[in-house]
Copies of this chain bind each other. A is one copy, B any other.
Amino acid sequence: MQNFTFHNPTKIIFGKNTIGQLGGEAKPYGKKAILVYGQGAIKKNGVYEQAVASLKSAGIEFVEYSGVRANPVLSHTREGIRLAKSEKADFIAAVGGGSVIDEAKAICAGACESHDVWDFYTGQATPERALPLVAVLTVAATGTEMNGGTVITNEETKEKFGWGNPILAPKVSILDPTTTFSIGAAYTAYAAVDSVTHLLEGYFTSNDPNTILQDRYVEGVVRSIIDVTETMIQKPDDYEARATFMWAATLAWNSISPCGIGAWSTPNHLIGHSMSALFDTPHGASLSIALSGWLPWYTEQGAAQVRQLAQLGKAVFDITESSPNHAAESTIEALRNWFRRIKSPTKLADINVDASGMEAIAENVEMSTPHWRLPDYNKARVINILKRCR
């Protein structure tokens, strides 16, 4: 096990009828907020009304800033920062999914600086401070509700970059699983894939045989997510399935699972980000494609990798084949079959990307590799990986 530091001060309020706590929880952070949200879905399911009523009853004045896109973009973020500055906001209240909270984090940091917010994403600047953030999460998936990470896309340069800093972590996040009842089948599936990918990228980041505790943690959360995803799709208002997934998605990416595994080495989010930056592919959809190709490529790297796949298959899919190679193959196929059952794509053709598109993705990955500090994912290797998608 490698040395690590873990520090996650976000307060989580989880369960039914919890959005009414927003105002009271936000009050310590000031009197004036920018209320950031997306395309208006929260006005259809009652979340907007609950959040606004709670802020008002706590005496908090706020200015609305809506229109955050599913892959949030730099131009809209810059506009939000201008608003936060001109309104002299004390804090940001974000109500929505991962995109809304990610953009809100950028506004929190950018509102305290005079330079362009993209400088944080390129690593040219590090924030000393940020406005406090309180959040109501309405789409479980990215884990942003309980970490200091943020990812946005620069539309001009076609770069989807991320960065993290503990000061960006929400002070409090409210998670009411009933708010996710209205998420459709496709995005429910993509959310599950996103969370599973967070976990598996850590699982495969090293071959250290002494991360048994981390391995068991990942296996347990992955298995739980797979156990409930089809129920969520078939019965969108199944509270227990939605609740299990919502908490699982947080536990998948709140910095616990990577403790002790060393520096990140897996490229699936990187490949997915390039796909999204070029083709606006939904984040989760890009990840099932990436994993579908990367896992077989990874398995070819050695016996230790094969054993890892076999171990995962046993823990998550009850695969008990005695040959490690066969077990590894069955594990990959079981995962792909899960993607297919929940209708998350497994190959580029599923999202209408052809060979030239594959080249463009691989070039974008190569360009982005230094930003994500990942080893050895050049154009040729990425094409090699993407050709294995099926």
Contacts and interface: CB of A to CB of B under 8 A. Distances in A.
A15 B4 contact: yes
Contacts of A319: none
Contacts of A10: 7
A11 B3 contact: no
Nearest to A223: B216
A230 to B, nearest CB: 14
A216 B221 CA distance: 7
Contacts of A9: 7-9
Contacts of A6: 11-12, 14
A261 B256 CA distance: 20
Interface size class of chain A, counting residues whose CB lies under 8 Å from the partner chain: 35 or more
9 contacts: A2-B15, A4-B12, A8-B8, A8-B9, A212-B228, A213-B244, A217-B220, A247-B259, A251-B256
A335 to B, nearest CB: 18
B1 A240 contact: yes
A158 to B, nearest CB: 37
Q: Is the contact region of chain A dominated by helix, strand, or loop, or is it mixed?
A: mixed
A243 B210 contact: yes
A8 B254 CA distance: 12
Interface in A97-144: none
A227 interface: yes
A49 to B, nearest CB: 21
A159 interface: no
Interface string A219-248: 111011001100000000000100110011
B15 A240 contact: no
A240 B3 CA distance: 11
Nearest to A246: B1
